[in-house]
Amino acid sequence: MQQCWAIRANDIIAVWVFVVVLSVIVVIFVLLRGSPELARLEVRNGRLSFLRGRLPPRVFDDFADVLSRRAIERADVRVVLDGGRPRVIATGVTDDELQQLRNVAGSYTSSQFRTGRAPRRDRQ
């Protein structure tokens, strides 16, 4: 009779170990995933290109206007979902340019980004 209880205790421990390990994996996956990306653009040698995601065509044109005011060798621009609103994260741009990009994106909702088209053109 004691052996029967020992087997059940081992089974319960195995289940709990499995649950803990699975929970840790899920937490790590969620933390490493980061914010959901709505769009990704890049500037290479002064040329703005749309890489992936969706955004309203007007946003692409406004971003191109902001980023064409000075010669930019290389920059990366990401529009992510943060608290239900689009947020711009960029590298290779000045603080003023980043703020202008945020002002442009802030006037749109996340649903407008999700229903927008993927521009298939580059802008000088």
Structure tokens at 94: 């000045």
Q: Are 105 and 86 in contact (CB under 8 A)?
A: yes
Q: Please state the rounded mean pLDDT for residues 44-51.
A: 90
pLDDT bucket at 110, cuts 50 / 70 / 90: confident
Q: How far is CA 52 from CA 34, 47, 119, in A?
A: 17, 16, 9
Q: Which helix (H) or strand (E) holds 114?
A: helix 110-115
Q: Domain map of the chain by residue range?
A: 1-33, 37-115
The Cα 33–Cα 10 span in angstroms is: 35
Above 70 in pLDDT, residue 64? yes
Q: Are 86 and 108 in contact (CB under 8 A)?
A: yes
**pLDDT value at residue 29:** 78
Minimum mean pLDDT among 16-25, 78-87, 90-99, 109-118: which range? 109-118
Strand 37-44 vs strand 74-82: parallel, antiparallel, or unpaired? Answer: antiparallel
Strand 47-53 vs strand 74-82: parallel, antiparallel, or unpaired? Answer: unpaired
Above 80 in pLDDT, residue 1? no
CA angle 44, 70, 80 (to 5 degrees): 55
pLDDT by residue (tens digit) across 72-89?
A: 999 999 999 888 889 999
Above 70 in pLDDT, residue 108? yes
Strand 74-82 vs strand 85-91: parallel, antiparallel, or unpaired? Answer: antiparallel
